[in-house]
Structure formats: structure tokens, C-alpha cells
Structure 1
Amino acid sequence: MAAPSGYTPEFPSTFSPTEKLRDFIPSFFQVSDDGSRNEEWVGCFCSDATLVMGGDEAQGTERIRQLRSRMWDKVASRKHSVHHFSEATGREPHEKGERNFMLKGEVEYQLKTGETKTVPWTAHAKVKEDGDRIRFVYYKVEIRA
């Protein structure tokens, strides 16, 4: 099933992602934008993963689940657009099999107050294959408000 428009980034011609990685990225953002899919979103992270969203940081499944819940406190809906995805140069993997990536995009928020705002974001992601799927080991997002 194809991901909705905006979720699939443009990959540099010098980078050829695996099919698993090519499928993981749009799927993650599609799940991210659906507040009813919290457990599926949390499942995109390894059990000992670190997640940093602005000034909020969580490590491990339960704390990531709590951070996910807080992400929806003031937000009625969100829609990500992923513009760019590339391998991060100069970043060494912590363990064999981990790969570092940089992402850029924007997210449109519909706040519970009725206000709409669109902000650009960048992210550093470290992923690895965990069983038959890709999961985040580390994910840090910076919002440019």
C-alpha cells in the first residue's frame, strides 16, 4: 500500500536505501500523525531506544510511551511532510548494524485551540534491523518554531 503524499522523502541519488528502510520511513510518519496508533508508534523504537523531542527526552519503552502521550496534549492533529532523507556523514554507529541518517521536513499542527501552524524540523535517526523490521535506536528531533 502506498503511503499518502508527503510521507515519502526524496532520497539522494548517491544513496540506495533497502526496501525495509524505504518502507519504514513513510510508515513511521503516517503512524506518527495518527493519535490513535500510540502502541504502533512506540513499537517503532527498540526497547532501550533514546528519543529526544525538543527539550523532552525519554529512554526505554515506557518513557517513550509517556512522551508520545504528551505529544498530543495540545495537538488535535498533525501532518508531517518529509522532504529529505540521507545518510549522516561523520557519525559512527554505536554498534555493528546501526546506521545514522538525517531527515528534514515540516509538520502542520492543528492545535486544540483551533490555531494551525506549520514548522520545519530536522532529525538525527539511528536505526537498526531488529528481527524482521527496522527500529529506532536513537531519534532526536529539532523543531524550528
Structure 2
Amino acid sequence: MADPTSRISEPQDQYSRMNPFPETTILGPALQQELVQTIQDFYRVSDDPAANDTWLGYFTRNAKAIMAGAGAQATDDIRRFRTNMWKDVKARSHWASSAYVGEVAEGRVQLMLEGVVTRVAPDDQEKVLSWAGRAVWEKHDGAWKMSFYQVWLSEKTGLEWVPAEA
């Protein structure tokens, strides 16, 4: 069976323009481009409610996923978790704006990501939320998969400038 996470990009969509990394990082150009592509594809699939199996392909079998305080571990539990995530959501669209590189080892990269997500409720009410996430990506059979993924959400969508005290 082909890896469900292998290059699924659709040229010219919003995800194809997403590159949360600064111009250069400690990753080097080849690894950085691999991760950019993986992140683009992951959020494209994440925003498709019908892509459950493909979305699960971005996680290792024993991965742990925590989002907005709820969590799941291992494939079957994460599958139920994903189904529940879509219960009160009609549509959503992620944008990763920044990436911070943490630990880098052979076949393993830890990243912090931040961005915004637009969610549309079944009653067509739209809400924009800021999010931050920690992802531990590991290379398995040539594909990057997460062994850990945690996301925090906030209704604060912009940074507020606070002046220094005089």
C-alpha cells in the first residue's frame, strides 16, 4: 500500500504558499524543504473532514495527540479523537505562520509552530483563533510522521504592544 502522506499537494492552493520557517535554519535546505512540504500537506489534510485515513498517516502507530486540552494515544484512539474534532465544525482552515526548530537528531526533529485557524460552525458562524503547537516529527519508511503533537488555542489573534514602564 502506498504511503498516504506521500506528496498530495495541489499547486496554487493556500497551503502551497505556507512556509513557516525563516529563510535559513539549522535544518539545512533539503531537510527544511522536506518539512515545509510535510507541514503544507498535513494542514491541507487536517482541514478536510473526509481525509481521516490520510490524516492518521501523519502519526506514528503509538503517537500522542493533545489539542485544546483533550488527548488521544495510538491510532484507534486518535481516529476517534479526529472524528470528535469535526462534530461542531463545518469547515476550517489552518495557516502556520512561524516555526521554531528545537531538537534535531538523525530522523527526528522537534518543532514549535504557530499560526491561525479559521473555523466555521454548523450555523455558519466564523471564528478565527490563534494556535501554537509542538510537534515531534520522526522519519518512518521515508515519510515524516509525528510521534507527539500538542496544540494550544487562543481567541487572541494578534500581539498587543505593551509599552515599557517609564
Query: Structures share a fold, TM > 0.5?
Result: yes
Deviation of the 1:138 alpha carbon: 0.4
**For 1:123 and 1:102, how far apart are their aligned partners in 2?**
6
Question: Partner residue of 1:11?
Answer: 21
Aligned residues of 1:6 and 1:82 also touching (Cα < 8 A) = no
- Is the deviation greater in 96-105 or in 15-24? 15-24
Percent identity, aligned pairs only, is 28
Q: Aligned-pair RMSD on alpha carbons?
A: 1.8
Structure 2 unmatched ranges of 5 or more: 1-9, 156-166
Question: Partner residue of 1:128?
Answer: 138
Deviation of the 1:97 alpha carbon: 2.9
Pairing of 1:69-108 with structure 2 (within 5 A): 69-88=83-102, 92=103, 97-108=107-118
Matched, 1:26 2:40: yes
**For 1:116 and 1:6, how far apart are their aligned partners in 2?**
20
**For 1:21 and 1:96, how far apart are their aligned partners in 2?**
14
**For 1:97 and 1:113, how far apart are their aligned partners in 2?**
43
- TM-score normalised by length of structure 1: 0.89
**For 1:122 and 1:27, how far apart are their aligned partners in 2?**
18
Deviation of the 1:22 alpha carbon: 2.1
Aligned residue pairs total 141
Question: Partner residue of 2:52?
Answer: 38
Q: Which amino acid aligns with 1:62?
A: D
Aligned residues of 1:3 and 1:27 also touching (Cα < 8 A) = no
Q: Secondary structure at the match of 2:79?
A: helix
Question: Is the alpha carbon distance of 1:6 and 1:27 closer, same or farther for their aligned partners in structure 2, counting shifts above 3 Å?
Answer: closer
**For 2:20 and 2:122, how far apart are their aligned partners in 1?**
31
Aligned residues of 2:114 and 2:132 also touching (Cα < 8 A) = yes
Q: Which amino acid aligns with 1:34?
A: D
- TM-score normalised by length of structure 2: 0.78
Q: Which amino acid aligns with 1:2?
A: P
Q: Deviations over 1:36-71 (max 9, x none)?
A: 101100110000100000111111000110110011
Q: Which amino acid aligns with 1:41?
A: W
More relative contact order, 1 or 2 (CA 8 Å, 6+ apart): 1
Aligned residues of 2:19 and 2:36 also touching (Cα < 8 A) = no
Aligned residues of 2:100 and 2:113 also touching (Cα < 8 A) = yes
